[in-house]
Amino acid sequence: MLEASHHYFNEAADALDLSDQIREILLTPRRVLKVEVVTEDDEGKLLHFTGFRTQHTDVRGPYKGGLRYHPHMDEDHATALANLMTWKTAIVGVPFGGAKGGINCDPRQMSRQELDRVTRAFVKGMSGMLGPTLDIPAPDVNTNAEVMGWIMDEYSQSNGFSPGVVTGKPVDLFGSLGRDEATGRGVMYAMREALKDQGKSIAEVTVAMQGFGNVGTHAARLIAELGGKIIAVADHLGAVENQEGLDVPALIAWTAEHGTVNGFPGGAPFEGADVITWPADVLIPAALEEAITGDNAGDVRASLIVEGANGPTTPRADEILRDRGVLTVPDILANAGGVTVSYFEWAQNIQQFRWELDRVNDELEKVIVRAYADVRTVAKEKSLDMRTAAFVLAIQRVGRAAKARWPIRETVRL
């Protein structure tokens, strides 16, 4: 995954004619932490995992990025995803840098109490690294508001009441209204803007979606509310399709009860891997990385891909899709709604003030619409695809901030 994020960075760095030295400075993380997470399970036996946190850059503000609990979590993922966070926060113009981390555990095999203990051991292991002006985690795959609440509690025990140390908290613990659905809502706005470029509206299109967790469920619900038809959905345990459009609220209720879309009576099952090549106008990958590869990109039927997930498209797939004229709204733009409302949450925590939900959603819409327009302007001016243009814009913003903070003498085109 790191290779892919470096590849996309380098394509943009080529367009900017950056020197090798500047590339290295912009790509290298400032700090990478690996921590042993040791605690006990509910029977008193040892639980032992490894936690990771990569702090990529803080030139534009405190490190910011999610925590992922997944058996495949490793340093490579943390660093690649931290990189993406740096470019993402720059594209939406929020005053943060980039970070990412997580634990190589499987929360589905753990009790709530075990998860709480593992989370607290991880926070202790990151002692000195976190803080409202240092590094502010948020939810990612298999972490949620409850886990963020535990992090806030653990940190506050030694640092005083500090809601601003983490975002995506429960609303009762100074989380922001609208944060839970923010990434999915941002995906919907990004999709709406891209469809405008294609002369279409959400009400006219069909959508296939991979992943039906935080990002997928909210994006699907909001798209369906605007008249879009969600015709195929796959998760890690199954897949369901209905050419007339799935009843999204019913599918969300089913998934909440059964932990999967599998078996949903309002549609027919199909082989989950086929969701990527499903005949739909729009494809939304909202699961994990490397879903669209050199093997299946040639068979993608959608004319628009909106990347809800981080890193869902490999460089080879990206090349094939570009050649085929498929429009891709890249992850660092399409799924930036989450970090945008995380910024609103952090700002509310610092001001000790709560925004109404309408304000959160209105401001989010403005940010995503502006970011989309900014990226499209760069794409048109430099004749680039949207992904490379997004990286160009982000590198320019981060690079200019770095130049303003550090005595970089080299004349670089930032």
Q: Is 100 a catalytic residue?
A: yes
- 199 DSSP 8-state letter: T
Confirm if 15 and 384 have CB atoms less than 8 A apart: yes
- Considering CB under 6 A, how many residues would be counted as binding ligand NAD? 24
Q: State both tokens at 287.
A: 């699961």
**Shortest distance in whole angstroms from residue 66 CB to ligand NAD:** 6
Decide: is 235 part of the binding site for ligand NAD (CB under 6 A): yes
Contacts with ligand NAD, 128-147, as mask; x by CB under 6 A: -----------xxxx-----
Confirm if 155 and 122 have CB atoms less than 8 A apart: no
Decide: is 228 part of the binding site for ligand NAD (CB under 6 A): no
Confirm if 105 and 350 have CB atoms less than 8 A apart: no
**Shortest distance in whole angstroms from residue 239 CB to ligand NAD:** 8
Contacts from 26-31 at CB under 8 Å and sequence distance 24+? Answer: 26/57, 26/395, 26/398, 26/399, 26/402, 27/83, 29/54, 29/55, 29/56, 29/57, 29/79, 29/82, 29/83, 30/55, 30/56, 30/57, 30/58, 31/55, 31/129
Interface region with ligand NAD, contact rule CB under 6 A, candidates 26-34, 170-178, 286-294, 387-395:
286-294
- For 96, 131, 343, 355, 370, the CA distances from 347, given in Å and listed in that order, are 12, 14, 6, 10, 20
Decide: is 98 part of the binding site for ligand NAD (CB under 6 A): no
Contacts with ligand NAD, 347-386, as mask; x by CB under 6 A: ----------------------------------------
- Within 1-108, where are the H helices? 2-16, 20-27, 75-91
**Shortest distance in whole angstroms from residue 311 CB to ligand NAD:** 7
Q: Output 142 or 303, the one with its CB closest to ligand NAD.
A: 142
Q: Output 130 or 261, the one with its CB closest to ligand NAD.
A: 261
Contacts with ligand NAD, 298-317, as mask; x by CB under 6 A: ----------xxx-------
CA separation for the pair 290, 312 (Å, rounded): 4
* Catalytic choice (64, 88, 100, 169): 100
Q: State both tokens at 35.
A: 């921590």
Q: Would you name the residues annotated as active-site residues? A: 100
Q: Which residues are at the interface with ligand NAD (CB under 6 A)?
A: 139-142, 183, 210-216, 234-236, 272, 286-288, 308-310, 335, 338
